[in-house]
A and B are shown apart, each in its own frame.
Chain A
Amino acid sequence: MDFDWTEEDRAFRARVRDFLARELPSDWAALSRHGPGSKEQTEFSLEFCPKLAEAGLLVPHWPSEWGGAGRPPWEHFILGEEMWAAGEPRGAQYMNVNWIGPTLMRFGTDEQKRRYIPQMAAGKAIWCQGFSEPNAGSDLASLRTRAERDGDDYVVNGQKIWTSYAGLAEHCFLLARVGGSDKGKSGIAIFLVPMATPGIEVRSIPSLIGHGDIHETFLTDVRVPASARLGQEGEAWSIINYSLANERVGIPRYELASRVLDGMVKELSKRGRFSDPVTRLRAGSASAACEAARILVHRTVDKRSRGEALGAEASIARVAVAEADHAVTDFGLDYMPDAFSGDGDLAVQTHHERAIVTGIAAGATEIQLGMIAQRWLDLPREVH
């Protein structure tokens, strides 16, 4: 066992930090306040990601065949920690790097791979994820958007909601029901759909997490060729389970939380307000929550780096990550309330707007707890 970084890891992290120090503009803190799905950050990502790609820092963990360098998953993760802590200058493109690209590599046809992966590896592709619907949130398998086969095409009708980045995305990784069944996991397929296809309408939802982030997506008689289907009809569930196990721990949120906590303590110290034992205890407790999240997420990376599939460990890590995010926000609310107003402390506000998502997106905490109970503790499923 070894819980320390290797020299190589450290050097890699230093390289990423150097790159960020060089390439992030001086008004980046204000820019990143708009949120990863905003127009501002999306446009920025289309300049920034190609430079990352050029430097070999966009997809180093992908195989060389697809523009990567076959580097270990740890480098992917170090990159993720540094990018997220810096306010995610990759914008929506982190999704391509983390799971859309790898999912296409594994399940896509040659044509799909050739068409989409090089653009992602070049840092020039914006995708969105069309899973949730008004009546299918936690219970995703009850989704109703339907794709009817019509000759060589499918015709899609339905509505998606909470679609991040949809306003500016060029493609959607879309789930829709196929065949005769109205419910259940077995009747779902994945479609890779250009957002410019006639019949797609996107409306932005004003929200607490930055403008332009989440959307409603309406699909009316949207015609897509059968060649846009990823995998077989009915295969969607197993494919997204594979992809999303990684995504539960895809964003290293504890890294930003921990750095924001650092910043708050520095500020409190400067104002002579960090000598009270209760304040210190609370900061210590938030710090411990971040470290708990960090080590549990690192455990999942370790497992992945040995080529093993993630099980309930990902849910365990996710629950700890949500606790860490909340602990840091709560510390700020109690001891630095003024940071949440005006331009008091942009990092605190940016963190907070990203942290309120943690217990809900990518599977609510209660869903994760259920998976831990059933898959880790082997408790009997609930009976209704």
Chain B
Amino acid sequence: MRFQPNEDQATFLSVLDQMAEGDAAAWKTSPEWARFEWSETFDGMLEANGFLDCAGEETLGLTMAVAMTHRVARLPVLAECAASAVLRPLVGPELPRPIAVVDGDPRDAIRFLPVARSVVHIGEGGVRRAVLNPNAVSPVDSLFAYPMGRLAAGALEWQAANADPETVRNAWRAALAAELGGALKGGLDAVVAHVKERRQFGRPLGSFQAIQHRLAGAATRIEAAHWLALKAAQSLDPVDAATALGYVQDAATRIVNDLHQFMGAMGLTLEHPLHRWTYRARLLRSAMGGAAGNLEDLAERRWRAA
């Protein structure tokens, strides 16, 4: 066991960090106070610099694709990383991106659809994919912090993906676990910075034990979630994947509510970025069956023979 990245992975992560800390990914309020900022610039940088192809590199692999998904989800701006980096190598390396993923009811609003060029459907019957055309998508307003749209039934030419559906599902769960964990970490970092600065009763809010302990509890779960997602990415084992996603989805409810609590009224404004992370987390917690579905599925797999 080695929790440290190898040399190539360390370089990969540090260059990614530099990009993530640059201007293109920084927090700015968006025009007309939109609830998300789809950053074509940052998304383009990830693609142009080859980051999204890391899964195919022997020394980087799917583990780095999932680690990158976590890092990108910590940012206040949006890029489409999880599907392109983790799913595309499995279901169709030539698919045009950004990629939207249907992992629940295809009639529901789907994230990234208005900016996507192709779509992958992970369904009961297997995995299929389609290139999008403008007639197939209608954007919808949403409380969630993603560009959301609905698919017009029958407007697409679906193609079965030549991939093991089980592997795809497990990889996608690992990716979602990392994306949700990253969103929670982004929110936590912002709230920790706030409670160090903000003073009430003559002292920083962050010096109150009631706040410290709840943030420390959140940090513990966010740490565990991060490593569980990476482990699932490496093994692609169904129990590991359901564990990673079920665990972080279960933790998300309390963490998100606490983070908002400690921001006070400021957290309800569009001038502070906290909402960007919370309204991603509030969507992702129901993905692929949500906490209940994933935890039950993990029990079913772990004790199938029992």
- Determine if B220 and A291 form an interchain contact, defined as CB atoms under 8 angstroms apart: no
Q: Is A373 an interface residue (CB 8 A)?
A: yes
- Determine if B234 and A4 form an interchain contact, defined as CB atoms under 8 angstroms apart: yes
- Determine if B220 and A281 form an interchain contact, defined as CB atoms under 8 angstroms apart: no
Contacts of B303 in A (CB 8 A): 262, 265-266, 269, 274, 283
Q: Mark A351-370, 1 if CB is under 8 A from B, else 0.
A: 00000000000000010111
Q: Which secondary structure dominates where chain A touches chain B?
A: helix
Contacts of B103 in A (CB 8 A): none
- Determine if A376 and B219 form an interchain contact, defined as CB atoms under 8 angstroms apart: yes
Instruction: Report how far A316 CA is from B303 CA in the complex, Å.
Output: 28
> Chain A interface: which of B37-45, B203-211, B268-276?
B203-211
Contacts of A374 in B (CB 8 A): 212
Using CB atoms, name the residue of chain A closest to B218.
A377
Give residues of chain B (203-249) contacting chain A, Cβ–Cβ below 8 Å.
203-204, 206-209, 211-213, 215-217, 219-221, 223-225, 227-228, 230-231, 234-235, 242-243, 246-247
Contacts of B298 in A (CB 8 A): 284, 287-288
Contacts of B297 in A (CB 8 A): 284
Instruction: Report how far A285 CA is from B291 CA in the complex, Å.
Output: 9
Instruction: Report how far A283 CA is from B306 CA in the complex, Å.
Output: 13
Instruction: Report how far A284 CA is from B240 CA in the complex, Å.
Output: 12
- Determine if B192 and A379 form an interchain contact, defined as CB atoms under 8 angstroms apart: yes
Instruction: Report how far A382 CA is from B196 CA in the complex, Å.
Output: 12
> Chain A interface: which of B2-10, B115-123, B137-145, B156-164?
B2-10
Q: Is B300 an interface residue (CB 8 A)?
A: yes
Q: Is B292 an interface residue (CB 8 A)?
A: yes
B223 partner, pick from A269, A302, A316, beta carbons under 8 A: A316
Q: Is B254 an interface residue (CB 8 A)?
A: no
Q: Is A372 an interface residue (CB 8 A)?
A: yes
- Determine if B228 and A292 form an interchain contact, defined as CB atoms under 8 angstroms apart: yes
Given contacts A287-B243, A292-B247, contact A381 B1 (CB under 8 A): no
Given contacts A284-B295, A373-B212, contact A2 B302 (CB under 8 A): no
Using CB atoms, name the residue of chain A closest to B2.
A2
- Determine if A369 and B207 form an interchain contact, defined as CB atoms under 8 angstroms apart: no
Q: Is A174 an interface residue (CB 8 A)?
A: no
Q: Is B296 an interface residue (CB 8 A)?
A: yes
Q: Which secondary structure dominates where chain B touches chain A?
A: helix
- Determine if B246 and A302 form an interchain contact, defined as CB atoms under 8 angstroms apart: no
Contacts of A288 in B (CB 8 A): 243, 246-247, 250, 295, 298
Q: Is A256 an interface residue (CB 8 A)?
A: no
Contacts of A3 in B (CB 8 A): 1, 3, 227, 230-231, 234-235
Q: Mark A243-270, 1 if CB is under 8 A from B, else 0.
A: 0000000000000000000100110010
Q: Is A298 an interface residue (CB 8 A)?
A: yes
Using CB atoms, name the residue of chain A closest to B61.
A1
- Determine if B219 and A1 form an interchain contact, defined as CB atoms under 8 angstroms apart: no
Instruction: Report how far A368 CA is from B196 CA in the complex, Å.
Output: 20
Using CB atoms, name the residue of chain A closest to B3.
A302
Q: Is B63 an interface residue (CB 8 A)?
A: yes
Instruction: Report how far A168 CA is from B219 CA in the complex, Å.
Output: 41
Q: Is A195 an interface residue (CB 8 A)?
A: no
- Determine if A320 and B220 form an interchain contact, defined as CB atoms under 8 angstroms apart: yes
Q: Is A299 an interface residue (CB 8 A)?
A: yes
Give residues of chain B (1-38) contacting chain A, Cβ–Cβ below 8 Å.
1-6, 9
- Determine if B246 and A285 form an interchain contact, defined as CB atoms under 8 angstroms apart: yes
* Central interface residue in A293, A295, A372, by most chain B CB within 10 Å: A295
Contacts of B230 in A (CB 8 A): 1, 3
Give residues of chain A (20-58) contacting chain B, Cβ–Cβ below 8 Å.
none
CB proximity of B295 to chain A, nearest CB, Å: 3
Q: Is B195 an interface residue (CB 8 A)?
A: yes
- Determine if A380 and B250 form an interchain contact, defined as CB atoms under 8 angstroms apart: no
- Determine if A280 and B299 form an interchain contact, defined as CB atoms under 8 angstroms apart: yes
A377 partner, pick from B3, B192, B231, B247, beta carbons under 8 A: B192
Using CB atoms, name the residue of chain A closest to B191.
A377
Q: Is A74 an interface residue (CB 8 A)?
A: yes
- Determine if A319 and B220 form an interchain contact, defined as CB atoms under 8 angstroms apart: yes
CB proximity of A316 to chain B, nearest CB, Å: 5
Instruction: Report how far A288 CA is from B248 CA in the complex, Å.
Output: 10
Contacts of B203 in A (CB 8 A): 380, 383
Give residues of chain A (269-316) contacting chain B, Cβ–Cβ below 8 Å.
269, 274, 277, 280-281, 283-285, 287-289, 291-293, 295-296, 298-299, 301-303, 306, 316
Given contacts A3-B231, A299-B3, contact A369 B247 (CB under 8 A): no
Contacts of B234 in A (CB 8 A): 1-4
- Determine if B1 and A380 form an interchain contact, defined as CB atoms under 8 angstroms apart: no
Contacts of A298 in B (CB 8 A): 1, 3
CB proximity of B17 to chain A, nearest CB, Å: 16
- Determine if B219 and A377 form an interchain contact, defined as CB atoms under 8 angstroms apart: yes
Instruction: Report how far A381 CA is from B204 CA in the complex, Å.
Output: 10
Given contacts A299-B3, A316-B220, A376-B216, contact A4 B235 (CB under 8 A): yes
Give residues of chain B (281-306) contacting chain A, Cβ–Cβ below 8 Å.
292, 294-300, 302-303, 306
Given contacts A1-B9, A277-B296, contact A266 B306 (CB under 8 A): yes
Contacts of A306 in B (CB 8 A): 4
Using CB atoms, name the residue of chain A closest to B208.
A382
Can you give 13 contacting A-B residue pairs, CB < 8 Å?
A1-B63, A4-B1, A265-B299, A283-B303, A284-B294, A287-B298, A288-B246, A295-B227, A296-B223, A303-B3, A319-B217, A369-B213, A372-B220
Q: Which 4 A-B pairs have the closest CB atoms?
A: A284-B295, A373-B212, A292-B224, A372-B216
Which B residues have a C-beta under 8 Å from some C-beta of A?
A: 1-6, 9, 63, 67, 192, 195-196, 203-204, 206-209, 211-213, 215-217, 219-221, 223-225, 227-228, 230-231, 234-235, 242-243, 246-247, 250, 292, 294-300, 302-303, 306
Which A residues have a C-beta under 8 Å from some C-beta of B?
A: 1-6, 9, 74, 262, 265-266, 269, 274, 277, 280-281, 283-285, 287-289, 291-293, 295-296, 298-299, 301-303, 306, 316, 319-320, 366, 368-370, 372-374, 376-383
